[in-house]
Amino acid sequence: MMKILIFLWKTLIFLQKFIMISGGCLAGILIFVQVFLRYVLGSPLFGVEELILFIAVWLYFIGAAYGAYERSHIKAELILLGFTSTKSKAVIRSINGVITVFLAVTMVTWSYPYFIWGLTRGATSQALLLPMVLCQSAIFFGSILMSIYFTAELLDNLLLSFGKKQIFAPLSEKDT
């Protein structure tokens, strides 16, 4: 069972890296093509900006989830300067983790109705008539991933605060 969970964990990370790399390359190429067509040939390609926007939304939310996975997301841990022991720092990080997980799960509960609304409404973009749910789903799936990774970080901090070994941090260290 543990091997299956580790496989799923690593598959999620691989898919995120794939989306970030391919999306970044595609957005860069599209921007270059649009600039070339607009300023060199004087004839821009219709709808490219809209396509770049869809890619950018996915890059933003998948990148945010990957930052949560790497534990390189922005943190305000000034309070940790007042503590010296590893256990006390882990307790403070655990309290911070509870708040972060709560906010991430709240984001999932807010983005789910938006995602379902996008599915049922069938709205499309103005230029290319792409389903808007493609953009809206990035918020929902990115929130789910962030909730998973913040929960893993919280569990690791709770284990540290009880003097035990982390579970998820070694998984992220092997991937980098």
The sign of the dihedral angle between the CA atoms of 114, 150, 9, 52 is positive
d(CA 168, CA 10): 12
57 within 8 A of 138, measured Cβ to Cβ: yes
Print the domain residue range for 141.
Answer: 2-175
**In the prediction, which pLDDT does 79 show?**
75
pTM assigned to the model: 0.88
Nearest residue to 110 via CA among 74, 136, 80: 136
pLDDT by residue, tens only, the chain of 176 residues: 788 988 999 999 999 999 999 999 999 999 999 999 999 998 888 889 999 999 999 999 999 999 999 988 777 777 777 778 888 888 888 999 999 999 999 999 999 999 999 999 989 999 999 999 999 999 999 999 999 999 999 999 999 888 888 888 777 665 54
Domain count, the chain: 1
